[in-house]
Amino acid sequence: LYLQEIHAPKYLTGMIINIAVIAEIILFSIADRSLQKFSVGSLLAIAALGSTVRWIVVFAFPNVIVFCISQTLHACSFAMGHYAFMKYLVKNIPDAQIPKVQGMYSALAL
C-alpha cells in the first residue's frame, strides 16, 4: 500500500521488496566473519539504530528511490537483530533447549 501511495510502478513492487531480502542474505553470508568481535548487546543496538534510521528516512522522504535505498537497512535492522539473538542462543542456552527457545522466539518475535 505504501508503495502505491508514493506512486511506485506496480510492476516493480516485487523487485523493490526483494532489495531488503537480498540485503538480509548478504548480511547473513558475511556475519560470522565480520561480526564475531561484536557483543550481542552491541549488535542489538546497531539493529535498533538501523531500524530507527530506516523508518525515519522512509517517513521523512516519501519517494520511491529513497524507499529502495532504505530497503538495504533491512540488513541492519531485522537481519542484525535476528543474528544477535541466534548468537545469544548459541552462547547461553544448552544445546538441548535451543529448539524450544527458537520456537518461542519465532512465535513471539517473528
DSSP codes joined into one string, the chain:
-HHHHTT--GGGHHHHHHHHHHHHHHHHHHHHHHSTTS-HHHHHHHHHHHHHHHHHHHHHS--HHHHHHHHGGGIIIIIHHHHHHHHHHHHHS-GGGHHHHHHHHHHHH-
pLDDT tens string 37-92 = 999 999 999 999 999 999 999 999 999 999 999 999 999 999 999 999 999 999 99
Residue 2: what pLDDT? 87
